Structure 1
Amino acid sequence: MSRFLALTTSPGFEQRLVLSLAAGHEVQVLSGPAGHQSPADVLSRNLGGPIDVVIFGPDVSVEDWFALASAIDAENPEIVLVLAAAPSSELTLSAVRSGIRDIIDPGADAHDLTQALERAANTAASRRQASVAGAREEQPRGRVVSVMSPKGGVGKTTVSTNLAVGLARTVPMGAVIVDLDLQFGDVGSGLGLEPAHTITDAVRGSAASDSMVLKAFLAPHPSGAYALCAPLRPAEADLIEPAHVAALVHQLSLEFPYVVLDTSPGLGDVVLAVLELATDAVWVCGMDIPSIRGLNHGLEVLRQLDLMPPSSTVVLNFADKRSGLTVKDVEATVGLPVEVVLPHSRAVPFSTNAGVPMLQSGRRDPVAKGLGALVAKIAAGGTVVGARNSRRRVAVS
């Protein structure tokens, strides 16, 4: 719905205007003199919501309307200005210079008048949308934490779900976890959730541009975190493009202080797309040679593509001194320090099967202590303002 403000003292034009407006639009007519008033004086006489279109009637001095139009356009660029007057080349030039968007012939038939008003309403809607989008771009973005592993089966989802739960404790209702393992993700299972909506719903329709609709698709968790789970059917993953996911993550980062991404194994298109937005990378690695080598190769690829997030944390899972490897061996291979070590623990599979993350249950365990240290590190990083520079995106098989 658009709101029109008509400045006219002509009852005939007022009547034609009201009859020509499409359903759903509202118009208010100011019949008193307005030519020598300021924009604030005129707009303050408006009753109701924000004005989208101001129509200057055909019955008052054109020079007065031009002066007022210039002032309104300078102070309220989101408002579309329309002049009702017999068109001429000289008038059109002066009108454009004054910020008037369109000139409509007051004697035009009802169909042409309706089209002109609808055109003005659409232009106003576009201007407001662009204005809101520009304001949102300047808003501080939350931390985007991408939890990754080139190899599967290393406990990445366990780390992701506990990280989201832990961050939600530091900022209640301020953390959201997104399951980006689009075919076989099990964030919902790890959190004990049966969501009514999935990421498939969130990248379609109005949710892609309306944050209020998007939030309605998030599943609340008892810890205070929110979750956006993977599609219910693996085939739905083919319907979700990397650009959809990148837009979704950006949108969530404007609404939440922390966005945790539980990515799929490897470095596919979706992972590379979100890495352009990631402020933090959490690398989960098992204490075995294939997992360590996979992580080393993954890091090399991202360094070559210049896609390494500003902050990286290596989490060594299933740590066991009897494996024949040490933490120093892992560090020497991947070229990064291991900051979080999670030992083998029988409490972890119990927690996973119950759908209750370790940091939610409050269980005292060395793994819970390590996960708590990871949460503290991420939480201590502060808020990142603005988006990172766009980088080259390449699929890695």
Structure 2
Amino acid sequence: MSRFLVITSVPDFERRVRAAVTGSMHGEVQALPPEVLSGGPEDVFRRLVGEPPEVLLIGPGVPGIEALKFATVFDLQHPEVSLVLVTDPDPDLMLAAMQAGIRDVAEPNVDVAGLRGLLERSCLASASRRRGLSNPGEGDEPGRIIAVMSPKGGVGKTTVSTNLAVGLAKIAPMGVVIVDLDVQFGDVASGLLLEPEHSITEAVHGPAAQDTMVLKAFLTAHPSGLYALCAPRRPNEADYVTAEHISRLLRQLSHEFRYVVVDTAPGLGERNLAVLELATDAVWVCGMDIPSVRGLNAAFDVLRELQLVPDGRHVALNFADRRSGLSVQDVESTIGVPVDVVIPRSKTLPYSTNRGVPVLQDGARDAALKGLRKLVQRFDPQWAKAPQSKLHRRVVVS
């Protein structure tokens, strides 16, 4: 899928755009010469291969007046596409660009890192407008907030979270964000092989807390087509993230993304309870050992009293192994609810986590793939409509 179109006569700029996209963003780049602008938007679209772009970069090498004339017509006909003008700084031109429908302006010498940030912002803006145009009466309908939780650590919760987010990104490219809410020792960044410039601490303070477009600048793009809001680098920054901050953040993200996957810290702290108050779904990850099972049972008892069990309940039994001394039926009888997904013990899964490449991203053959795909499937609207679908069905460990 081509998501980026560059109209320029400068090969080095085209090279930098391709470098910004390759390996870090979802989609491909197409390039056209400036002459196509004279034919208008229709001529541009005739020359494209595949689907229409999400971001169109005009220049350098394109006369400013010609670019603005084209942009004025293009924005009226295709408002869902983010237009970016690449030109030398000029205050008068900036004002004219805004009036013509240009969404962002960059200088011709912008480096690869600057281009990557620019393209990420433009993609997010395009996705927001597409949702508004496709659902004019449902612009404020929030996406699903999926809390991935476990009372105890060491059950593979982050591995499940990252694979779930990658799987959902195949259903809704650029419509998924994963939030690392283990604000002291979160591992989402390493689990996705990311080097984030910003963290959740910055995202819940200052202008980002009030302006969703500013908030999007703190997200990190992943090659699979999702975005991540990662934990801070220093554990002491956790004190600056409160339950109130989390509630506001999730409301913001749910109005911009189809799926918000929240990788929570172990336990039932204030931040986790704030997530459950807003969550449409909760994925409970449980290991196949007695402490993990008993911990989940105790958590369910507490949450039932607090009336904080989301309508969408999904229990994932991780590290499943018939030689553990427990059966699925043993687990179900203890926690009092069915096990929905079984993820067998796997050698590949820990290796993929250490590599920072989820198994659902690279498609490696592994026994755990089937369980992870079933978990993703439970959030696919097409699966929910299927007559054979059943939210809770008995499963077995093979």
- Establish whether TM, by shorter chain, passes 0.5: yes
SS in 1 for 2:163: helix
Match of 2:84 in 1: none
One-letter amino acid of the counterpart of residue 241, structure 1: T
Residues 202 and 257 (structure 1), Cα distance of their counterparts in 2 relative to 1, 3 Å cut: same
Aligned 1:281-360 pairs, distance under 5 A = 281-360=282-361
Counterpart amino acid of residue 353 in structure 1 = N
Q: Partner of 1:325: helix, strand, or coil?
A: coil
- Partner in structure 2 of residue 187 of structure 1: 188
Aligned to 2:213: 212
Letter in 2 for 1:217: F
Deviation at 1:152, TM superposition (A): 0.2
Tell me if 1:173 matches 2:174: yes
Task: Report the AA paired with residue 282 of structure 1.
Answer: V
The 1-side partners of 2:324 and 2:242 are apart by 40
Using the TM superposition, give the Cα deviation of residue 212 of structure 1 relative to its aligned residue in structure 2, in angstroms.
0.8
**After superposition, where does 1:2-81 map in structure 2 within 5 Å?**
none
C-alpha separation in 2, matches of 1:156 and 1:379: 21
The alignment status of 1:274 with 2:281, answered yes or no, reads: no
Residues of 2 paired with 1:382 and 1:180: CA distance? Answer: 28
User: What secondary structure does 1:378 align onto?
Assistant: coil
Distance 1:182 1:256 in 2: 21
Q: 1:381 to 1:287 in 2, by over 3 A?
A: farther
Q: Give the letter for the 2:256 counterpart.
A: E
Q: Render the CA deviation track for 1:252-274: whole Å, top value 9, x for unaligned.
A: 00000000000000000000011
- The answer to whether the Cα contact below 8 Å between 1:208 and 1:214 also exists between their aligned partners in 2 is yes
Please tell me whether the aligned partners of residues 158 and 263 of structure 2 are also in contact (alpha carbons under 8 angstroms).
Answer: yes
Residue in structure 2 matched with residue 379 of structure 1 by the alignment: 380
| Amino acid paired to 2:340 | E
TM-align CA RMSD: 2.0
What letter matches 1:140 in structure 2? E
Tell me the TM-score normalised to structure 2 length: 0.61
User: 1:158, 1:341 → 2: CA distance?
Assistant: 14
Partner of 1:140: 141
C-alpha separation between the residues in 2 aligned to 1:224 and 1:139?
23
Please say if residues 152 and 266 of structure 2, whose CA atoms lie closer than 8 Å, have aligned partners that are also in contact: yes
**What is the number of residues matched between the two proteins?**
251
State the Cα deviation string for residues 21-45 of structure 1 (Å, max 9, x = none). xxxxxxxxxxxxxxxxxxxxxxxxx
In structure 2, what is the equivalent of residue 368 of structure 1? 369
Post-superposition offset of 1:137: 10
Residue identity in the other structure for 1:249 = L
Deviation, structure 1 residue 380: 2.9
The alpha-carbon deviation at position 335 of structure 1 amounts to 1.2
Using a 3 Å threshold, how does the CA distance of structure 1 residues 381 and 145 change in structure 2: closer, same or farther?
farther
Residue 381 of structure 1 deviates from its aligned partner by 8.1
1:197 corresponds in structure 2 to 198
Matched, 1:154 2:155: yes
3-state secondary structure, aligned to 2:341: strand
Counterparts of 1:233 and 1:343, CA distance in 2: 34
Tell me which residue corresponds to 1:256: 257
CA distance in 2, matches of 1:179, 1:363: 25
Deviations 1:317-340 (A, max 9, x none): 011111111000101111111111
Q: Which SS does the other structure have where 1:338 is aligned?
A: coil
Q: Which residue is 1:242 aligned to?
A: 243
Structure 1: tracts of 5 or more residues without a match: 1-48, 51-134, 384-397
Query: Quick one: distance in 2 between partners of 1:174 and 1:145?
Result: 13
- Structure whose CA Rg is larger: 1
Deviations 1:53-95 (A, max 9, x none): xxxxxxxxxxxxxxxxxxxxxxxxxxxxxxxxxxxxxxxxxxx
Contact 2:377 2:383 survives alignment (8 Å): no
Deviations 1:155-191 (A, max 9, x none): 0000000000000110110000000001000000000
Percent of matched pairs sharing the same residue: 64
Q: CA deviation at 1:136?
A: 11
SS at match of 1:353: helix
Q: TM-score, normalised by structure 1?
A: 0.61
List 4+ stretches of structure 1 deviating above 6 A.
135-138
Structure 2 gaps of 5+ residues are: 1-97, 100-135, 385-398
**One-letter amino acid of the structure 2 residue matched with residue 279 of structure 1:** T
- Cα distance, 1:366 vs. partner? 1.8
Aligned partner of 1:121 in structure 2 is none
Query: 1:379: how far off?
Result: 2.0
Residue aligning to 2:5:
none
The answer (yes or no) to whether the contact 2:167–2:360 under 8 Å persists in 1 is: yes
Q: Does residue 223 of the first structure (1) align with residue 186 of the second (2)?
A: no
Q: What is the one-letter code of the residue matched to 1:139?
A: D
Measure the CA separation in 1 of the matches of 2:203 and 2:264: 17
CA distance in 1, matches of 2:337, 2:223: 35
Deviation at 1:138, TM superposition (A): 7.2
Does the 8 A contact of 1:149 with 1:265 survive in 2? yes
The 1:365/1:276 distance shift into structure 2, 3 A limit, reads same
Q: Which moved more, 1:151-160 or 1:205-214?
A: 205-214
Deviation digits for residues 124-162 of structure 1 (CA, Å, limit 9, x no counterpart): xxxxxxxxxxx9997101000000000000000000000
Distance, in Å, in 1 between the alignment partners of 2:145 and 2:192 is: 20
